[in-house]
Amino acid sequence: MRRTPTAFCPPVALADPGSYVARSAAGTPILAVRGADGVARAFRNACRHRGAKIAEGAGCEKAFVCRYHGWTYGLDGALRHVPHEDGFPGLDHATRGLVALETVEERGLVFVTQEPRDGDGAVLSDLPELLPPRRRLVFAGEQDIPVNWKILAETFLEGYHIRSTHRETFYPVQFDNLNVVEHFGRNTRITFPYRAVHKLRAVPPAERKAEGKLTYVYHLFPNVMLATFPHFIFMVAIEPLAIDRSRFQTYVTTADDDGDVARKPSAAPAANAMVGAASGGGPADAGAALIAAGGAEDNAVACAIQQGLASNANEFFEFGRFEGGIGHFHRNLHAALEASQ
């Protein structure tokens, strides 16, 4: 999986020179930063002296200083300063910069590849444009959930559960078990239409627009989801922590000119990955509350599945025709794992 270009964060999380995001991906501490030249780069988040992480969380810095001994690195990863350098005779700054990772800013996201890959240039070219320009970051946060990462990924990949699981949240707004499933290489897009799509019947076909009438959920193989809503676009990275524990890393963006969305989200702890990122009582507020409630329902079911594994009732899970996105995910996951052996 580390040979796969994986969405790390939206570019707006690295809005200005010096802006950075430091988090773990697939168990590897990674630092992504916007350079003074405007280029997004990612590095292994470890000092080249004694290996301490040089950054935590997110923020903006002119340089990164290891808190252990003060070794200092520029935004380009180069080693800039070593305190008492006379104690390191022959130290070659050129070879002791931060270890760079392959990084591309493409399709509206920042992708990072942790290990050399086999020259598959089509991995990202399969994808459409995912995140429009001129977005504003209104929330970034994380939540640990006691569930295997694949179970959590599966909750995004079908609409067969809308009526049963989301009877008072998504079901009054969306249709049950009515989806369009499209594949882009190893990736998938699932369309969840809203009941409001019926309003388009009175609109001439050439004037019909899908905006506000559906949600797209993109599964970016292996572990990233991008979900579109009328006021928000979410990016969720589902990071494995253990066989029965995962971390949701969530970024919520909105359009620059969306006046319904507050500049700063609530500081209250997230109830789930789809945390409400607006305040002020507008339509965006109601939408955020709905997304948060629906996400909590999905997480509760995922936890119940994880707990149910201990029953030993199922040698396998039964995925039907309405769960084609899940089948596509697992076929590609098995193929990738087999190729790595």
Residues 301 and 203 both lie in one domain: yes
Check whether residue 60 and residue 108 sit in a common domain: yes
Lowest mean pLDDT among 79-83, 245-249, 277-281: 277-281
Q: How many domains does the chain have?
A: 2
Q: Are residues 144 and 120 in the same domain?
A: no
- Does 130 map to a domain? no
Is the per-residue pLDDT at 133 higher than 90? no
- Structural domain ending residue among the three candidates 64, 94, 125: 125
Q: Please indicate, yes or no, whether residues 42 and 139 belong to a single structural domain of this protein.
A: no
Q: What is the pLDDT of residues 144-197, one digit of tens each?
A: 999 999 999 999 999 999 999 999 999 999 999 999 999 999 999 999 999 999
Residue 13, domain CATH? 2.102.10.10
Q: Is residue 117 part of a domain?
A: yes
The pLDDT value recorded for residue 264 is 39
Residue 58 has pLDDT above 80, yes or no: yes
Check whether residue 109 and residue 144 sit in a common domain: no
Whether 195 and 327 map to the same domain: the answer is yes
Whether residue 196 sits in one domain with residue 93: no
Look at residue 276 in the predicted model and tell me its pLDDT: 39
Is 28 contained in some domain?
yes
In a domain, 329, yes or no: yes
Q: Are residues 328 and 296 in the same domain?
A: yes
pTM, two decimal places:
0.90
Asked if residue 1 belongs to a domain, the reply is no
As a whole number of angstroms, the distance between CA 241 and CA 229 comes to 28
Say if residue 277's pLDDT is above 70: no
pLDDT for 257: 64
Query: What does the pLDDT look like over 225-252, one tens digit per residue?
Result: 999 999 999 999 999 999 999 999 999 9
Please tell me the least confidently modeled range out of 22-36, 61-75, 219-233, 264-278: 264-278
Query: Average pLDDT of 307-320?
Result: 95
Q: Does 261 reside within a domain?
A: yes
Domain ends where: 103, 125, 147? Answer: 125
Residue 208 domain-assigned (yes or no): yes
**Is-contact 174 192, C-beta < 8 A?**
yes
Query: What is the chain's alpha carbon radius of gyration, rounded to the nearest angstrom?
Result: 22
Q: Mean pLDDT for the chain?
A: 90
Report pLDDT for 282: 63
pLDDT at 172: 96
Is residue 271 over pLDDT 70?
Answer: no
Same domain, 102 and 159: no
Pair 98, 215 in one domain: no
For residue 323, give the CATH number of its domain: 3.90.380.10
Which domain-ending residue is among 71, 96, 125? 125
Higher pLDDT, 287 or 95: 95
Q: Does residue 217 share a domain with residue 290?
A: yes
Q: Structural domain of residue 219, as residue ranges?
A: 135-337
Q: 230: burial class by Cβ within 10 Å (0-12, 13-18, 19+)?
A: middle
Is 63 within a domain? yes
Instruction: Tell whether 114 and 167 lie within a shared domain.
Output: no
- pLDDT, tens digit (0-9, with 9 covering 90-100), for 211-220: 899 999 999 9
What is the reported pLDDT for 279? 37
